[in-house]
A and B are shown apart, each in its own frame.
Chain A
Amino acid sequence: MSGEWREPTDKNKEKSGSDIRRKEFIMSFYWILGFAVGVVLVAIICSMGRRMQKKAGKKPADYDERQVAARGKCFQTAFFTLFSANVIMALLAVIFDGYAILEGPVPYLILIFLGATVFVTAAIRNDAYFRPGEASKGYTFIFGALGILNLIGGISHIVDGSMLDEAGRMDTGCMNLMAGLFLVITAAAILIKQVQDRKAAADDEGDAE
Chain B
Amino acid sequence: MDPGEQAADLRLENHEIAAHRWSKEWLFQDGDDLFEHDFGVHEGYGPGAFRVHRQGVGGPDALSCAECHHRGGPNGSGDLSENAFFEGDGSDPASAFERNPPHILGLGIEERLAAEMSAALANARAGAITAARSSHSPVQIALRAKGVSFGSLTVRPDGSQDDAQLEGVDSDLVVKPFGWKGSAATLREFLTDGFQVHFGIQFSRPEAVGDGRPWDRDGDGSPNEITDGMMSAIVLYVARLEIPVISPPKDSDLLARFGHGLEVFQDTGCATCHVTSLPLRNPTLKITTGLTSNVLTEGEAPRPRFDVSNSDGTPIFLFSDLKRHAMGAALADARPTYITTIAYGLPNGPKERTKIPADVFLTRPLWDLADTAPYLHDGRAPTIDAAIELHGGEADASRAHFDALSSEDKAALRIFLLSLSRYPRIEFR
Say whether A and B bind each other: no
Q: Which residues of B contact A (CB under 8 A)?
A: none
